[in-house]
Structure 1
Amino acid sequence: MKVFKIIIIFFSLQLLAKAEQSSLNQLFQKLKNESDQNLAYRIEDQIWKQWTTHKSDDGLTELMSYGTVLMNNQDYDSAKKIFTKIIKKDPSWAEGWNKRATVYYYQKEYELSQADIDKVIELEERHFGALSGQGMVQIKLDNLEKALKSYKKVLEIYPSNRSAQTLVDEIEKIIKEETI
């Protein structure tokens, strides 16, 4: 009987994961086609809500919220411990890696930040937040070509992102000036 219950739970979680992925795919399609900045922000918020909500109900969403509060309050060491704990509990949850990458960035640990960003992008290649973070890291590492590539990828996913467009324009200008 226990085995049967486990099988039911497993398949229920699989169906839930497929439904969440379908919803996320729809949101990304809307984001790609939305030119109205206000509507794009609303779609972005819905994507972030899905990214920061864990697929199970085992306290990881609440732990993510707590770690984010710590990070926003500049308690980076405590936040990093929380995000590391999340990663250990579920290494397939991209947002745990993304938040820890952000903490590493704030702590000027750019190589560690980039390593976590690589993991985020491996898990969710459309993660415009991680791609933007990668651009910031690469600017700090004085790798403008890679930063430019990151922001251009953001624009492929999220064409109405004004910050990414501004950074693309500025980085292209700097690169052009450096080659003259």
Structure 2
Amino acid sequence: MKSLFILCMVIAMPAFAECPAPADVSDDLEALFSAARTADNEGAGRAISGQMWELWLKAPDPAAQEVLDRGMRKREVYDFVGALSDFDRLAAYCPDYAEGFNQRAFVHFLRGDYALALVDLDKALELQPRHVGAQSGRALTLMNLDRIDDARAQLEDALKNNPWLSERFLLSDGGPLARQGKDI
């Protein structure tokens, strides 16, 4: 019965429901950023990264959570049209929830539509400025748009809060975002 209620809410949204404000997770994130900066090794850093994602992936209400989860399931099986439909619905229903825009940006990125990905990433970061997942996604998007200096700066910002992001290797010597020095 609970599933039927949630399904009805998902179908009705956004026409009849109002999304509650996303939870304020800033204190929890600050603690996780601090822990990530002082983590002893990559395994510990990755575990902390997972905890960050748990916070970002908690939607404001059960109806929004169902749409988010369904969109992510569709994305995982390459149903990008279906995933975009769900993330469009989520963004319309919960316009203050950064992860809806971040997930939609990821689908745009996977489809190679970097301009649309950038629009959604900018919105996600407007709502959640230190969302390191959106920051690293934005860095990758900018890199694919051949905006290397902007991509480097964005990734460096993300790494200030979470130095364990897998994208950090893009800044390594020889990496596509490495700073170019003078040969001796």
Q: Distance in 1 between matches of 2:181 and 2:145?
A: 19
Q: Distance in 2 between matches of 1:132 and 1:124?
A: 13
Over residues 95-145 of structure 1, what are the superposed CA-to-partner deviations in whole Å (9 max), with x where a residue is unaligned?
000000011111111111001000111111111111111121112111111
Q: Distance in 2 between matches of 1:149 and 1:116?
A: 19
Q: Distance in 2 between matches of 1:23 and 1:46?
A: 10
The 3-state SS of whatever aligns with 1:171 is coil
Q: Is the 2:67–2:86 Cα contact (8 Å) retained in structure 1?
A: yes
Q: Distance in 1 between matches of 2:26 and 2:115?
A: 30
Over residues 130-171 of structure 1, what are the superposed CA-to-partner deviations in whole Å (9 max), with x where a residue is unaligned?
11111211121111111111211121111233x332101213
Q: Is the 2:42–2:164 Cα contact (8 Å) retained in structure 1?
A: yes
Structural mapping, 1:126-165, within 5 Å: 126-161=130-165, 163-165=166-168
Residue of structure 2 equivalent to 1:105? 109
Structural mapping, 1:54-65, within 5 Å: 54-57=59-62, 59-65=63-69
* Higher helix residue share: 1
Root-mean-square deviation over aligned CA pairs: 2.2
Q: Distance in 1 between matches of 2:177 and 2:54?
A: 32
Q: Distance in 2 between matches of 1:45 and 1:86?
A: 22
Q: CA deviation at 1:176?
A: 4.7
Q: Is the 1:151–1:165 Cα contact (8 Å) retained in structure 2?
A: yes
Q: Is the 2:140–2:151 Cα contact (8 Å) retained in structure 1?
A: yes
- Under a length normalisation based on structure 1, what TM-score does the superposition of the two structures give? 0.81
Q: Distance in 1 between matches of 2:85 and 2:133?
A: 21
Letter in 1 for 2:131: H
29 and 112 in structure 1: CA distance in 2 versus 1, 3 angstrom threshold: same
Residue of structure 1 equivalent to 2:84? 80
The count of aligned residue pairs is 162
Worse overlay, 167-176 or 48-57: 167-176
Letter in 2 for 1:160: W
Q: Is the 2:96–2:127 Cα contact (8 Å) retained in structure 1?
A: yes
Quick one: which of 87, 94, 98 aligns to 1:94?
A: 98
* Greater relative contact order (Cα < 8 A, sep 6+): 2
Letter in 1 for 2:169: T
The 3-state SS of whatever aligns with 2:176 is helix
Q: Distance in 2 between matches of 1:176 and 1:23?
A: 38
Structure 2, unmatched stretches of 5+, are 1-19
Over residues 8-42 of structure 1, what are the superposed CA-to-partner deviations in whole Å (9 max), with x where a residue is unaligned?
xxxxx88x935x43223222221222232111111
Over residues 38-67 of structure 1, what are the superposed CA-to-partner deviations in whole Å (9 max), with x where a residue is unaligned?
11111111111111111333x211211110
